[in-house]
Structure formats: structure tokens, C-alpha cells
Amino acid sequence: VIGEAPKRPVLRRGAKAGDLLAVTGFLGGAAGGLHGLQKWGKRCATLFPELAGLQTRPEPRLAESDALQGSMNACIDISDGLASELHHIAKASRVKCVVDSEWIPLHPKLKELARKLDLRAMDLALYGGEDYHLLAAIPPKKLRAAQKKIRALGGNLVVVGEVASGRGVFVRRGGRLHQLRALGHRHQF
């Protein structure tokens, strides 16, 4: 991909301890759509049209990226699943990333599809891919203004965790920290 950045680009390596980790929308929908299409083919578009559409017609979050300029210390698109992208930010920024499983916004239809396919909705959000929402590290004092900007676009900026001193990527479940594996969607060409 070749292009221009009219402003200074926000990279993966700027996250700082104390930043909040936020995403620009529901996760796991595109991965759910992929599994549905693989299982049911075109019938998935009737059973779960939104999820199938997320897989067949992905939308990069360009407007959201522009709106968040000046609010983020680090950012990455969620093309390979939340866990994979958290590992990229943690490694590049030399920090620890902790997300809370209760805060991760799953697509509203994802649990139903996952149940029918005997999959775990949270695994689709963490390790699936192609949602193309943004994962941003945002200083707490800039969060409210950033959320307002995303709402003005018709979206939602949801805090899913925080950046801390240290290394690694963890998910908090039931008050306990569990290390997240650096797995994600594998693109096939």
C-alpha cells in the first residue's frame, strides 16, 4: 500500500503506562462471518447478514483515525484480532497491556453464531481478525474528548483495558490475570 499521511502518523510504539486502551467498535463479527460463510456458504448471508457483510465488505476506520489525531499515543487497526494487535503495541512500546474480558465489546449477533458453530465468541474477538476497528492507547485526560469525536461519527469508543509498566499482554477474567497468546488471524493469499 502506498499513500500519504497529511499529519504526523501515530505509530504502535507510543503507548505509555497509564494510557487507556480503547477500541472503535464491536469485535469478532468479521471472524464470526468468516466461520459462518465457511460452514453455511451463501446461506450465512440470510442467517447472519451483518456478520457475513463484515467479512465480505470490510471498512477501514479512516474517519475515526482522523478524528482521533492528537488524542492517541499509539494506534493499530485490528486486522488480525485483538490479542495480536495488543502484542504489537506492547512489544513496540515496551509496555504491558491488560484488557478486561468484561469490557471487550462483542458484536451483538456473535454469541448466537458462536453457539450454533460450537465456538467461543471471546476467542473470535481475541484471535479472529478483519474487524478493522482501531485499538488506541489514549491518555485518560483525553478520553472524554476522543469519545465525543467518535460519537459525532456515529460510533463508539470503548475502553477495554490499560497500559502498565512491565512487559506482556494479559486479559483479566474474574479478577485474575491470564497471559494472552500472540495468536491472530492468518491471511491467506
- pLDDT, one tens digit per residue, over 32-65 is 999 999 999 999 999 999 999 999 999 999 999 9
The answer as to whether 63 is a domain residue is: yes
The answer as to whether 149 is a domain residue is: yes
Q: 52: domain CATH number?
A: 3.90.650.10
User: CA-CA distance, 188 to 129, in Å (whole number)?
Assistant: 12
Residue 174 has pLDDT above 70, yes or no: yes
Identify the residue whose cell numbers are 477500541. 23
Strand order in the sheet with 74-77: 74-77, 134-138, 20-23, 158-164, 96-100, 168-173, 176-179
The answer as to whether 154 is a domain residue is: yes
The answer as to whether 173 is a domain residue is: yes
Single pTM value for the model = 0.93
pLDDT number for residue 189: 42
Residue 6 has pLDDT above 80, yes or no: no
Sign of the Cα pseudo-torsion (143, 156, 109, 80, in order):
negative
The answer as to whether 9 is a domain residue is: no
Q: Tens of pLDDT along 82-127? A: 999 999 999 999 999 999 999 999 999 999 999 999 999 999 999 9
Domain containing 60: what range? 15-179
Q: Tens of pLDDT along 129-159? A: 899 999 999 999 999 999 999 999 999 999 9
- Count of domains forming the chain: 1
More confident residue, 187 or 81: 81
Residue 160 has pLDDT above 70, yes or no: yes
The answer as to whether 77 is a domain residue is: yes
The answer as to whether 133 is a domain residue is: yes
Q: Is 62 exposed, middle or buried (0-12, 13-18, 19+ CB in 10 A)?
A: exposed
User: CA-CA distance, 54 to 174, in Å (whole number)?
Assistant: 30
How large is the average pLDDT for residues 159-166? 99
The answer as to whether 148 is a domain residue is: yes
